[in-house]
Amino acid sequence: MNTKSIIAAAAAIILSGTAFGQSQSFKLGQWTEIQNSILKELNRSYVDSLPVDRIERAGINAMLEALDPYTIYIPEEENEDLQMMVSKSYGGIGAIIYKPDQNGNVIINEPYKNSPAEKYGLRCGDEIMEIDGQTTHGLTSQQASDKMKGKPGTTVRFKVKKVHTGEIVDIDITRERIHLPDVEYYGMLDSETGYIYQSGFTENVSGEIRNAVMDLKKQGMKKLVLDLRGNGGGLMSEAVNIVSLFVPKGSLVVSSKGKGSGEQQYKTTSEPIDTELPLIVMVDGGSASSSEIVTGALQDLDRATVMGTRTYGKGLVQTIRPLPYNGQIKVTTAKYYTPSGRCVQAIDYAKRNEDGSVAHIPDSLTHEFKTAHGRTVKDGGGITPDVIVKGHEYSRLTFSLVYSNIIEEYTLKFVREHQSIPEDWTLSDSDWKDFVEFAKTKEFDYRSSARTYFDQVKKELEKDGLSESMKDQIEAMGKALEMDKETFLNLKRDEIVPFIEEEIMVRYFFQGAGIKTRLKYDDQLREALTKPLISF
């Protein structure tokens, strides 16, 4: 191709790009004008008073949802929620509340360890009758929570009915900056194996991990389990800082590619604390975003053995940008890639399993990449563990007990009846019978999965006009699947007890004790510890 042809071709590309940009700008202006015209016409002629705020917010939300699940609008009044999202901190007394009846009192469900709530003597089961002189009757749970929050250093007065004595007292509590740690528990699983449970990626979680690792090493740790199961992610910078604890300075952790920023690489900038310590990273379908950055980097750099089940598959980067009237938008600006070049983003947002994790991806749609030592890894959605270890599959009954708050309500009943319990407490046979009697009085869907499918099949047979001709078979199957609450509860006792024990231990000894209880029953972790680590 001669010089003239090259110049002509380049000019054509530039002009086509310019035309495309002009076309996009024209379409944006066109739709903005149409939207404004519709609103003006509605304001002028709609039969009722126009709820502008509601319909505009609905329109914005629908527009952003059409892009991806993570781009969201945050108005000024929700900035506190954004602060909680970024730093897991807020101004308040530090307690989870429960309000089963809008016309009743607020119940202290769980005070946080070392919080103002704990320091001033509030405990699980105490009832808040008034907040700053206003009755809590008629308030929603959110309204009550908003009244309890406030600027650190300010005081809030409560009228409290104490759980065990019934005494009514006034308590003035000075609010503090409440920070919920992402490292909710760490400790030794045995004489050589350290364990860290990390629940998020907010500000300075890497510092929490560093401190935990150093403490565990002092306790004799020779191997570390970093548990990221259920960790939905957070700040990318904290993910980079966590990887930097275990790999040489200057190592590539993640790169991002976006329209406005081009390609950016994020490398470790600090000296590690240990590059030889054997690592196990535990993940599952709830491990997403920054969890996948840490997991993918440690896997690609051949620094850890990843165990569990495939991760969620969120390989998108969000950036917070300011908007008029003190609003903000959290917008997807780039995709991120692990050191080997993998993008963990699910190929299709819509194709998800029931738990939200990535559905099956055909091999024909995936690509192979190589780790630092030449092992093959694939993209296509999430991180596939080096060693697959499946978790426990819970029955529909257990899910129903949790989501219907039956276990939570029983926990409050238990606390009212037991002023204290020993640190090695476990649920006794009499406690279990008490729970069953309690649950039997509650309304919840206790059908088995088989029974729900059967009920659905019955409806389909009726639609098809086959129910009468198959009446005997249907009745026989129905009787075979019929099970009363008590029978089904007792059948699933071993599965339900850990949930009850964890909730009760949290109320007396805080979150760490609850996680320790959970670990006692963690068959997936126990199996993972029997698997050989990959030799790098």
Cβ neighbour number for residue 343 with a 10 Å cutoff: 20
Residues 6+ apart with CB under 8 A from 176: 91, 92, 93, 94, 115, 116, 152, 153
Let me know if 289 is a catalytic residue: yes
The 3 state secondary structure assigned to 391-432 is CCCCCHHHHHHHHCCHHHHHHHHHHHHCCCCCCCCCCCHHHH
DSSP-assigned letter for residue 377:
E
Q: Which of 89, 119, 93, 91 is nearest to 106 (CA)?
A: 93
Q: Which of 229, 167, 243, 240 is nearest to 200 (CA)?
A: 229
Q: Which helix (H) or strand (E) holds 328?
A: strand 328-337
Please pick, among 256, 289, 290, 291, the residue that the annotation labels catalytic.
Answer: 289
Please pick, among 182, 227, 300, 379, the residue that the annotation labels catalytic.
Answer: 300
Please, are residues 158 and 130 in contact by the beta-carbon 8 Å criterion? yes
Rg over alpha carbons for the chain, rounded to the nearest Å, is 28
Residues in the chain: 536
The CA–CA distances, whole Å, from 81 to 74, 77, 101, 211, 278 equal 9, 9, 25, 28, 38
Amino acid identity, position 498: P
Please pick, among 159, 314, 330, 492, the residue that the annotation labels catalytic.
Answer: 314
CA distance 78 to 84: 10
CA distance 180 to 88: 5
Please, are residues 245 and 301 in contact by the beta-carbon 8 Å criterion? no
Let me know if 251 is a catalytic residue: no
* Distance, C-alpha 335 to centroid of its chain: 20
Residues annotated as catalytic are 289, 300, 314
